[in-house]
Structure 1
Amino acid sequence: MWTPWVGKNYNKDRILILGESSYTYKEDADGLAIALDDDHPVRMVEGQLEPTADDSSFMTMLTNALTDRDCDTVAKRHAGWAQVAFTNYVPVSIGTAARQRPDAQAWGMAKAEWPMLLERLSPRHVIVLGLGSWDHIPKGKPIHDAAYTGPARDPAIEEFTLANGQTVLCWCHWHPSAGASWESIRNLIRHIKIREDRQPE
């Protein structure tokens, strides 16, 4: 299992942003791919917190969503990423180039680790980025929310229950490489927070 990024203010809303997968892209002096470290999701976020942010289009879109695109300083980017947790669903590298798809074994590993991931982070909400991930996540209890206009999946929201009885709502959303925009991700985060505010104490 990857070591997830957990922002210092994560406990306020307990929103986990779930990417799909990662690929090995670094090479050593001999031109061989270097295996990703277990803390790869943490390093992905830390790349956004440098004085000059990493140019990953995926992570830049998430940073824009978390800061309402007001991310021209390190402090603003830190504040945005402080509020969420982040990791990828597929717990292994799926190749050495972008656009490769997880194979059946990789999806199987992700599905097997899913309960452990939820128990480890105890989120109240998971934003699942990517229809492929959504279709390979174990099925939960269907939830209806007429105000959420997400991807054409039925259901597009599912509920899971942790060992301590806490419920987790998982939200299907497009992947940034296939239909999501920073605005759509931002709007879903806002929708989740409004929904939380309306829940009875």
Structure 2
Amino acid sequence: MNTIVFDPWIGSRYESENHFGRRVLVLGESHYGDVSEIRPTFTKEIIKRLGQDERCAFFTKVSKVLLDFDADTYISDSQRSDIWEDVAFYNYIPSFVSEDARVRPNSEQWASAQMPFKQVIDILKPQFILVLGKELGAQIPKVDPSIQVCVIQHPSTGFSYEEWNPVFQKALSVAVNG
């Protein structure tokens, strides 16, 4: 039984010939909004609009991490948009956490996320998962040991490129070079 509520974003180069040489899944924590907005295409629409078409601080920071840009390096609109074609993106919590941002998932929401997450992993078959947030990293179930998992600080809370870009780059290097 399919329990996926929000279909993941899958970039056009996710499967092959991408920037990373691996299938990279970027794992966010949750969406927020009015329950009347829940639909399977919601995540795809958000990445297209806020990751590619508009400048949104969260998605711009994630783009800069993926490209190993520091705080002082400007990311062009085309660079920001293009990097999302190289990855898949999925938010772990399969419901809106709240109508407002910065609300934490409750225990039922964390528990309800495990099965859809496992289904997404089975479908996408990522080789590398970039987890956006330490608490999220502590909540996700174990994945196949062949999948490299890298947990970094959530980009919206006191994020430091100096601290977290090297963590991502080192983990990615291990995944690519074995």
Does TM, scored on the shorter chain, surpass 0.5? yes
Report the AA paired with residue 18 of structure 1: L
SS at match of 2:52: coil
- 2:153 counterpart (174, 194, 199): 174
The 1-side partners of 2:123 and 2:164 are apart by 24
**TM-score, length of structure 1 as denominator length:** 0.71
What's the counterpart of residue 104 of structure 1? Answer: 107
| Mapping for residues 1-201 of structure 1, pairs under 5 Å | 1=4, 2-11=6-15, 12-24=21-33, 34-47=36-49, 48-50=51-53, 53-54=54-55, 56-67=56-67, 68=69, 69-74=73-78, 76-138=79-141, 140=142, 160-161=143-144, 167-182=146-161, 184=163, 186-199=165-178
> Structure 1's 191 and 9: CA in aligned 2 closer, same or farther, altered over 3 A?
farther
Question: What are the superposed Cα offsets for residues 48-80 of structure 1, whole Å, 9 maximum, x if unpaired?
Answer: 322xx14x3211211222343553233x22321
Counterpart Cα distance in 2 of 1:39 and 1:6: 11
Question: Per the alignment, do residues 70 and 192 of structure 1 end up closer, same or farther by CA in structure 2, a change over 3 Å counting?
Answer: farther
- Equivalents in 2 of 1:70, 1:120: separation in Å? 34
**What is the CA distance between 1:186 and its match in structure 2?**
4.0
Aligned-pair identity in percent equals 25
Structure number with greater Rg is 1
Once the 2 structures are TM-superposed, how far is the Cα of residue 190 of structure 1 from its aligned partner?
2.5
> Helix, strand or coil: the match of 1:113?
helix
TM-score (norm: length of structure 2): 0.79
Secondary structure of the residue aligned to 1:18 is strand
Q: Which moved more, 1:37-46 or 1:96-105?
A: 37-46
Q: How much does 1:194 deviate?
A: 1.9
Contact 1:90–1:110 (Cα < 8 Å) also in 2: yes
Q: Is the 8 A contact 1:111 1:136 kept in 2?
A: no
Structure 1: gaps of 5 or more residues: 26-32, 141-159
Q: CA deviation at 1:183?
A: 5.3
Report if the CA contact (8 A) 1:10-1:85 is conserved.
yes
Question: Counting helix residues as a fraction of each chain, which structure ranks higher?
Answer: 2
Answer whether contact 2:132 2:153 (CA < 8 A) is retained. yes
Counterpart amino acid of residue 39 in structure 1: T
Q: Distance in 2 between matches of 1:103 and 1:77?
A: 32
Code of the residue aligned with 2:170 in structure 1: it is H
Q: Which residue of 1 aligns with 2:18?
A: none
Looking at structure 2, the residues matched to 124 and 182 of structure 1 have their Cα atoms a distance apart, in angstroms, of 23
Secondary structure of the structure 2 residue equivalent to 1:119: helix
